[in-house]
Amino acid sequence: MQEHAFVGRQPILNRQQQIIGYELLFRLNKEAKTAEFSSDMQAGTNVLVNTLSNMGTDWLVGNKLAFINVAEAMLESNFLELLQANRVVLEVVESTQATPELLERLKDLRSQGFGIALDDFVLTPQTAPFMEHANYIKLDIQQLGMPQIPGLSKELRRYPALQVAEKVETKDEFKQCLDIGFDCFQGYYFAHPETLSAKVINPGYANILNLLNMLRNNAEIRDIENALKRDVALSFKLLRYINSAGFGLSCEIQSFRHAVTILGYQKLYRWLTLLLVTAGAETGAAPALLKTAVTRGRLVELLGSHFLDGQERDNLFIVGMFSLLDVLLDMPMDQVLETLILPENVTDALLQRQGIYGPFLELAEACEDPEMTEVPRLCEQLQISPEMLNKSHVQSLAWVEELGV
């Protein structure tokens, strides 16, 4: 029998808000929810191994790590040896007992190159023996409460492990954890960003928006070329993007006219959307947020590509990418959309998660939630199997790493 489970992910960031890895979250499908823990464990293990072996190393490009929860049964299994040790951090769940055998196993896993993290860690005489084997200690700041954190963090400084603040939900909590000296961060604050107050759209954005609207209205190539020439930074980025590995073009692009001719309006529109999101880097948006936007764009596109093609696929990409524009531009979505001429289907998806593209965006967003509560329902509604979802997920991460966003 094929084990069905969905893989979610949550980014883990360093102090510069760059993504250093993803915690991969495994959730079984609806039917399996009632199964007792042992079979749950087994299904989790099988899915884990299938998914990670299918992932290959391609998505773990550069220095990204996969953080994976492992219960006792899994730590003791020889499944782990199938994983690529230097890319994987094993998160020892809090229910694990520090028996001599288990500590010996952790020592062995570390010598193979695995990282070891202690999940939801609370320091007690029973858990202290784990400390000498840990590379990461994860503290759930919601569960422990912020007043407890500084003292606990200081006490744990006696050990060389990196400290990860989990469940960071607000800007204020993030700032406090930075001040306390945490090394890494994880939580809704990074994956579920909120819109704050409106800010003026800077020139870079204004030019891109203007170009997007020109393309939508099928303006003359000459006018588009002139618009590109007026913005040196924009045009440089566009050529650099087009000539990068991500586009698989066989020839070097020489001029804007050449770029427009080779790419066609639809593709050019698409790369401009990518640019619009990455332009956020100049405005001080967090790198993790830009990455989330581009990954989401690709994921929405891949999820919908089983059902839609051609221009619809480009629209799916735009729906996913633009779903974070309100956060990147720091203004309400309806105001953002006033500055763009977009097809009605796209605006329906962005404003109400409705229309032909809405459900695909909903599903991509549901995958960013650690609980993944909505994923089974949305998959069923869209007739997407766990395998399809997980494959698309992995492909979207790999693609973004390749782009080097």
Same domain, 221 and 248: yes
Asked whether residue 197 is domain-assigned, the answer is no
Q: d(Cα 52, Cα 26) in Å, to the nearest integer?
A: 12
The pLDDT-based confidence of 21 (bands split at 50, 70, 90) is: confident
Per-residue pLDDT of 156-203, as tens digits, reads 999 999 999 999 988 899 999 999 999 999 987 776 655 544 455 555
With bands split at pLDDT 50, 70 and 90, how would you rate the model's confidence at 246? Answer: low
Q: Are residues 238 and 181 in the same domain?
A: no
What separation, in Å, do the N-terminal and C-terminal C-alpha atoms of the chain show?
39
What is the structure's pLDDT at 109? Answer: 94
Listed in sequence order, the residues at least 6 apart from 306 whose beta carbon sits closer than 8 Å to its beta carbon are 384, 388
- Residue 386: band (very low, low, confident or very high) from pLDDT cuts 50, 70, 90: confident
pLDDT confidence of 288, banded at 50, 70, 90? confident
Integer Rg of the chain from CA = 23
In a shared domain, residues 260 and 166: no
Identity of the highest mean pLDDT range in 246-255, 320-329, 377-386: 377-386
Q: How confident is the model at residue 358 (pLDDT cuts 50, 70, 90)?
A: very high
pTM, to two decimals: 0.69
Whether residues 151 and 212 share a domain: the answer is no
pLDDT at 254: 65
Can you tell me the mean pLDDT for 308-312?
77
Q: Does the residue 108 lie in any domain?
A: yes
CA 189 to chain centre: 13
Answer yes or no: is pLDDT of 106 > 60. yes
Q: Are 296 and 286 in contact (CB under 8 A)?
A: no
Range of the domain at 223: 203-403
Of 223-227, 266-270, 319-323, 336-340, the range with the highest mean pLDDT is 319-323
Q: What is the mean pLDDT of residues 332-347?
A: 82
Asked if 321 and 344 sit in the same domain, the reply is yes
Same domain, 154 and 216: no
258 within a domain of the structure (yes/no): yes
Final residue of a domain: which of 171, 191, 211?
A: 191
Mean pLDDT, residues 74-102: 83
Which pLDDT band holds residue 48 (cuts at 50, 70, 90)? low
User: In terms of pLDDT, which residue wins out, 28 or 226?
Assistant: 226
Q: Domain count for the chain, please give it.
A: 2
174 and 239, same domain (yes or no): no
CATH, residue 279? 1.10.3210.10
Estimate the crossing angle of helix 386-403 against helix 287-304, to 10 degrees.
140
Give the up-direction half-sphere exposure of residue 323: CA atoms within 13 A in the CB hemisphere: 35
184: helix, coil or strand? strand
Per-residue pLDDT, averaged over 326-333, amounts to 80
Window from 180-184, 266-270, 317-321 with minimum mean pLDDT: 266-270
140 in a structural domain: yes
Last residue of a domain, one of 191, 226, 254: 191
